[in-house]
A and B are shown apart, each in its own frame.
Chain A
Amino acid sequence: MNIVVCVKYVPDATADRKFEDDFTVDRVGVDGLLSELDEYAVEQALQFREKREGEEITVTALTVGPEKAVDAVRKSLQMGADSGVHVVDDAIAGSDYLGTSLVLAKAVEKIKADAGADLVICGMASTDASGSVVPAMLAERLGMPQVTLASVVESQGDQVRIKRDNEGSTEVIGATLPIVLSVTDQSGEARYPSFKGIMAAKKKPLETWSLSDLGLDADQVGLSVAYSQVEDTTARPPRTAGEIVTDEDGSGAGALVEFLASKKFI
């Protein structure tokens, strides 16, 4: 069995994230890293493998992104994935959800042909776009069951069950492998790479694919054929400094209520 984990290289959320002149996200000028929310996906893949002793299970980490995005795959290998795939091609830059999901689907299909893709795992969202739509779109393109936003994952044989928090309810979702699974940050703390893991990662196979390796043409993806266009981006003006009072002998509560009343909240 082979598990494919989709991981994204994103600008560090604690850095000063910004846009390029063409309104695409600056993925080069800002320090990047493996999206925190994808670490949970890598973790679940590793746990899936560890819980099934005696079965031959491998984990392939897949990323799509610029040169530096390979760091996301490397980190996944350090955590314990067995092999990596980095799809990199200038033509992919600026892809929207449709373009991104297309490239990922083609890459999963290629991995499937080579090593299998019995389980595809994604994080619940990227920390930059925060769309939470690509796992569902990947399931749509691959024609696989969509089992997404799992806070708990359980499996037996080829049956997978998850717990999913919806707006007004918690659901149990069941499906038969192969599936596309996405996991939330409630699914279990992600491990840190060990020193041994970091050393071992250097010897693990890591392939680099271009669009043509996936049978895609440059005019099928990227900014120029995106289905939506950004017309403008504006930095939010810094909030004007508010009034800060220090609570002394109960003065804080009075000041707080006065403020709320002055704004007509009471």
Chain B
Amino acid sequence: MSEVLVVVDHADGEVKKPTYELLTIARRLGEPSAVFFGSPEQGDAVAEKVKKYGAAKVYVVDDAQIKGYLVAPKAEALQQLAEKSSPAAILLPSTFENKEVAGRLAIKLGSGLITDAVDVADGGVTTQSVFAGNYTVQAKVTTGTPIITVKPNSAAPEEADGAGAVEAFAVTISDVAKTAQVVATQPRQSTGRPELTEAAIVVSGGRGTGGNFEPVEGFADSLGAAVGASRAAVDSGWMPHAFQVGQTGKTVSPQLYVANGISGAIQHRAGMQTSKTIVAVNKDPEAPIFELVDFGVVGDLHTVLPAATEKVKERKG
């Protein structure tokens, strides 16, 4: 069976959930090989994790001469790995950075590229959600090695035994790939809440919060949810851009999305319309968000959410 390369999504060696989703998807296309960019010391621990989801091999690529530069070195490394392993497909978690890596890799390998897939079926047919979620598109790479970036929550991770054989892979990075330098990195402080794109429940706030996100955060915490924000709330400086849900922020597809004080402009809908269940709280009964909802409350979030938070806590005891 041919190898399918799966780029591991991790934060400093801590494997993130989309990796397991990708490994699950990869098994439909061949035998998954995980590709870990990081320090060799962390490779063994990563292998222990990913082999439980069917990774037969774990290529450890020392990122010492990669992490100091933007995108281009990773594309070169994957090109070298692809040339060695002749994979049936290459899957990457659909982050902005990985999409850029995939784009450059597609040119290097002369291979087709599909971005932001929400599903990949046997045979490599992908599903994408486009035009702000108004259409789904089925597509397939027809030339070269299919390179597919896959969004979080595209599959339920399923465990499977893999050998998890660690193989250090030495790469040669050219000078031309080292021309955009990472001068400084400021890690974002953890909020202690689930990751926005991975969360099963997302509770968001918009203009209607008036800048007070406490009711939104309180309700989110009662449900164990991630917190999101509309572009209006981010543009007003109420929340950092990392929390923005929408076309120019994060696209989320949780089991439950709760929009509070968010009108539901197309820019926002593009980022949440594929959520399984949608709930809204808004003072304006004419707000377009109510066209999308499974359940809506016409009311002031500043009174509805704190009361709802208490009721959730009571139920959970």
Q: Does B bind A? A: yes
Seen from chain A, the residues whose Cβ lies within 8 Å of a Cβ on chain B are 13-14, 17-19, 23, 37, 96-98, 101, 124-125, 127-137, 139-141, 143-149, 151, 161, 164-176, 179, 184-186, 226-236, 239, 242-247, 250, 252-257, 259-261, 263, 265-266
Q: Is the CB of B241 within 8 A of A186?
A: yes
The answer on a CB contact under 8 Å between A252 and B201 is no
Listed by A's residue number, 26 A-B pairs whose Cβ atoms lie within 8 Å are A14-B266, A23-B137, A96-B113, A97-B103, A97-B113, A127-B247, A129-B130, A140-B75, A164-B70, A167-B97, A170-B186, A227-B141, A227-B142, A228-B112, A228-B113, A229-B142, A231-B140, A239-B292, A243-B296, A246-B297, A253-B303, A254-B307, A257-B311, A260-B256, A263-B256, A265-B277
Interface pick from B40-48, B55-63, B155-163, B175-183:
B175-183
A255 close to B100 (CB less than 8 A): no
Known: A133-B102, A173-B181, A253-B311. A128 touches B296 (CB 8 A): no
A148 & B277 in contact (Cβ 8 Å cutoff): no
A-B contact count (CB 8 A): 269
Closest residue of B by beta carbon distance from A144: B179
Contacts of B266 in A (CB 8 A): 13-14
Nearest opposing residue in chain B for A138, CB measure: B103
**0 or 1 for each of B101-121: is its CB under 8 Å from A? (1 = yes):** 111101110111111100000
Bound state CA distance, A97 and B115, in angstroms? 10
Which residues of B have CB within 8 Å of A179?
A: 180
Q: Is the CB of B279 within 8 A of A97?
A: no
Question: A236 to B135, Cβ gap below 8 A?
Answer: yes
Which residues of B (74-131) have their CB < 8 Å from a CB of A? 75, 95-97, 99-104, 106-108, 110-116, 125, 129-131
Q: Which of B258-287 contact A (CB under 8 A)?
A: 266-267, 270, 273, 277-279, 281, 285
Instruction: Indicate whether B71 reaches chain A with its CB closer than 8 angstroms.
Output: yes
Contact: A236 with B136, CB < 8 Å?
yes
The answer to whether residues A236 and B133 also contact, given A145-B180, A169-B186, A245-B297 and a CB cut-off of 8 A, is yes
Q: A229-B139, A233-B137 are in contact. Are A171 and B184 (CB under 8 A)?
A: yes
Task: Annotate B276-317 by CB proximity to A: 1 below 8 A, 0 otherwise.
Answer: 011101000100001111111111100111011011100110
Residues of A within 8 A of B171 (CB): none
Known: A239-B278, A239-B292. 19 other contacts (CB 8 A): A97-B106, A127-B247, A133-B99, A140-B104, A146-B71, A166-B95, A166-B96, A167-B96, A171-B182, A171-B185, A227-B106, A227-B144, A228-B142, A236-B134, A244-B285, A246-B299, A247-B304, A253-B310, A257-B315
Q: Are A266 and B104 neighbours in the complex by a CB distance under 8 Å?
A: no
**Contacts A136-B103, A227-B106; A130 near B116 (Cβ below 8 A):** yes
Query: Closest Cβ of chain B: how far from A207's Cβ, in Å?
Result: 27
B307 near A137: Cβ-Cβ < 8 Å: no
CB of B187 closer than 8 Å to a CB of A? yes
Q: Give me the interface of B with A, judged by CB distance under 8 Å.
A: 11, 70-72, 75, 95-97, 99-104, 106-108, 110-116, 125, 129-144, 146, 176, 179-188, 201, 223, 231, 241-242, 247-248, 255-256, 266-267, 270, 273, 277-279, 281, 285, 290-300, 303-305, 307-308, 310-312, 315-316
**A161 and B183 alpha carbons, distance in the complex (Å):** 9
**Contact yes or no, B316 A140, CB < 8 A:** no
Contacting residue for B114 out of A149, A176, A228, A252, CB 8 A: A228
Please give me the residue from chain A that is nearest to B255 by CB atom: A265
Contact between chains at B135 and A146 (CB < 8 Å): no
By beta carbon, the residue of chain A nearest B231 is A185
Known contacts A247-B299, A261-B315: does B185 contact A169 (CB below 8 Å)? yes
> Shortest 3 CB-CB distances between A and B: which pairs?
A247-B299, A227-B112, A253-B307
B12 to chain A, nearest CB (A): 9
Does the CB pair A132–B99 fall under 8 Å? yes
